[in-house]
């Protein structure tokens, strides 16, 4: 096993004009760890993910993946590093024109000829990991409930067996029971497949279920980070206000 963090940010800053979205952000995620970033709407979580994926340049600082610096990397090398990442998008982002099995195997077939029978078998294996079965293989996403679509999106995210998965608001729009099902699946998959997870979410229930460690972004800075067990005893008034979901406090 590598002795480098899976992902490391060192002093990353990013501004849009006078909007200083990320200010000297540093943190690392260890291999196999589940790290969650919390913070209010617009605090820079998505910008941070784009910088890590090399989809956006940073103004200052360095980002490493498996000890390899990706900031300033050539496009071809970026593609190679990006292949380590999977993504569960907010809302699932399934292709409604394709049946479920093609949605799940989409990334596996890009630019390569694969036998349909093999891809259906792969789709089924991944569907079974998220508690679904062959009855949904030939359906379209719109024929499934929101919770089932989330499971399919999860099956698609794990199908290429990425080393790292980004979960962007993985439980948004789900009722509390389906939220719990997805949280449990995330925990199981990350553990069983040895995936490193970086999640951004507002949902405190998810944070407490799926994270090993948590970091809070506020006004472009990481103002607190620590094990999830310490989140409710952080001693930081901003973290307390966010965790307890109070309107009153330093965050307006
Ligand atoms: N391409 C861009 N050009 C200019 N400003 C941008 C760009 N992308 C993001 N921003 C700004 O950066 C800030 C952070 O946006 P970001 O999308 O990262 O927030 P977020 O924390 O993911 O929010 P949410 O939780 O609502 O999704 C916002 O003020 C946004 O307007």
109 plus 198 within the same structural domain: no
pLDDT tens-digit profile of 9-61?
999 999 999 999 999 999 999 999 999 999 888 888 889 988 998 889 999 99
* Mean pLDDT, range 62-86, rounded to an integer: 90
72 plus 174 within the same structural domain: yes
The predicted structure's pLDDT at residue 164? 95
Is residue 214 over pLDDT 90? yes
The predicted structure's pLDDT at residue 244? 83
**Tokens of residue 203, six digits:** 């949902």
154 plus 166 within the same structural domain: no
Among residues 81, 80, 88, 45, the alpha carbon closest in space to that of 64 is found at 81
Is residue 88 over pLDDT 90? no
* Mean pLDDT, range 83-111, rounded to an integer: 84
Task: Give domain status of residue 201, yes or no.
Answer: yes
Beta bridge partners of 199: 36, 167
Nearest-CA residue for ligand 1 atom 2 is: 16
Is residue 89 over pLDDT 80? no
Helix (H) or strand (E) holding 148: helix 146-158
Among residues 189, 232, 226, 234, the alpha carbon closest in space to that of 210 is found at 189
65 plus 108 within the same structural domain: no
Report the 3 state secondary structure along the chain. Answer: CCCCCCEEEEEEEEEECCEEEEEEEEEEECCCCEEEEECCCCCCHHHHHHHHCCCCCCCEEEEEECCEECCCCCHHHHHHHHCCEEEECCCCCCCCCCCHHHHHCHHHHCCCCCCHHHHHHHHHHHHHHCCCCHHHCCCCHHHCCHHHHHHHHHHHHHCCCCCEEEEECCCCCCCHHHHHHHHHHHHHHHHHHCCEEEEECCCHHHHHHHCCEEEEEECCEEEEEEEHHHHHHCCCHHHHHHHHCCCCCCCC
- Between 226 and 238, the more confident residue is 226
**What is the distance in A from the centroid of ligand 1 to the CA of 173?**
21
Residue where a domain stops, chosen among 124, 139, 158: 158
- Is the CB of 19 inside a 6 Å radius of any atom of ligand 1? yes
Rounded-to-integer distance, Cα 126 and Cα 108, Å? 13
Structural domain boundaries enclosing 51:
1-84+162-251
**What is the distance in A from the centroid of ligand 1 to the CA of 16?**
9
The predicted structure's pLDDT at residue 234? 85
- Domains identified in the chain, total number: 2
Query: Which residue of 19, 40, 44, 57 sits with most ligand 1 atoms within 8 Å of its CB, as the best mutation to test the pocket?
Result: 44
Supply the CATH number for residue 36's domain.
3.40.50.300
48 CA: nearest ligand 1 atom: 18
79 plus 166 within the same structural domain: yes
Task: Give domain status of residue 89, yes or no.
Answer: no
90 CA: nearest ligand 1 atom: 27
Nearest-CA residue for ligand 1 atom 9 is: 47
Judged by average pLDDT, the poorest of 14-28, 106-120, 129-143, 221-235 is 106-120
Q: How confident is the model at residue 235 (pLDDT cuts 50, 70, 90)?
A: confident
Rounded-to-integer distance, Cα 158 and Cα 127, Å? 10
The predicted structure's pLDDT at residue 91? 63
Rounded-to-integer distance, Cα 248 and Cα 154, Å? 36
- Is the CB of 47 inside a 6 Å radius of any atom of ligand 1? yes
**What is the distance in A from the centroid of ligand 1 to the CA of 48?**
9
Task: Give domain status of residue 16, yes or no.
Answer: yes
**Tokens of residue 112, six digits:** 């390569």
57 plus 128 within the same structural domain: no
Listed in sequence order, the residues at least 6 apart from 67 whose beta carbon sits closer than 8 Å to its beta carbon are 2, 4, 5, 8
**What is the distance in A from the centroid of ligand 1 to the CA of 14?**
11
Is residue 1 over pLDDT 60? no
49 CA: nearest ligand 1 atom: 18
28 plus 144 within the same structural domain: no
Listed in sequence order, the residues at least 6 apart from 110 whose beta carbon sits closer than 8 Å to its beta carbon are none
Task: Give domain status of residue 13, yes or no.
Answer: yes
247 plus 181 within the same structural domain: yes
Q: Mean pLDDT over all residues of the chain?
A: 89
Is residue 7 over pLDDT 90? yes
125 plus 182 within the same structural domain: no
Is residue 2 over pLDDT 70? no
* Mean pLDDT, range 74-84, rounded to an integer: 86
pLDDT tens-digit profile of 180-206?
888 988 898 888 889 999 998 888 888
Residue where a domain stops, chosen among 134, 158, 182: 158
């Amino acid at each position: 096993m590598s002795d480098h963090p899976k992902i490391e940010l060192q002093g990353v800053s990013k501004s849009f004009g006078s909007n200083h979205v990320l200010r000297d952000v540093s943190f690392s995620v260890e291999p196999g760890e589940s790290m969650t970033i919390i913070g209010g709407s617009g605090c820079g979580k998505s910008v941070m993910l784009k910088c890590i994926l090399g989809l956006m340049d940073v103004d200052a600082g360095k980002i490493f993946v498996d000890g390899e610096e990706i900031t300033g990397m050539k496009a071809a090398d970026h593609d190679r590093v990006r292949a380590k990442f999977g993504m569960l998008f907010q809302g699932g982002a399934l292709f409604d024109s394709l049946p479920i099995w093609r949605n799940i195997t989409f990334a596996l077939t890009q630019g390569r000829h694969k036998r349909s029978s093999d891809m259906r078998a792969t789709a089924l294996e991944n569907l079974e990991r998220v508690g679904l079965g062959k009855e949904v293989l030939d359906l379209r996403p719109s024929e499934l409930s929101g919770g089932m679509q989330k499971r399919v999106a999860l099956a698609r995210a794990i199908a290429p067996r990425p080393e790292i998965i980004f979960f962007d608001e993985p439980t948004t729009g789900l009722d509390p029971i389906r939220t719990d099902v997805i949280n449990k699946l995330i925990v199981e998959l990350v553990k069983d497949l040895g995936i490193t997870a970086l999640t951004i979410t507002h949902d405190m229930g998810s944070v407490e279920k799926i994270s090993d460690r948590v970091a809070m972004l506020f006004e472009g800075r990481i103002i607190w980070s620590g094990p999830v067990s310490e989140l409710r005893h952080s001693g930081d008034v901003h973290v307390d206000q966010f965790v307890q979901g109070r309107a009153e406090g330093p965050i307006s």
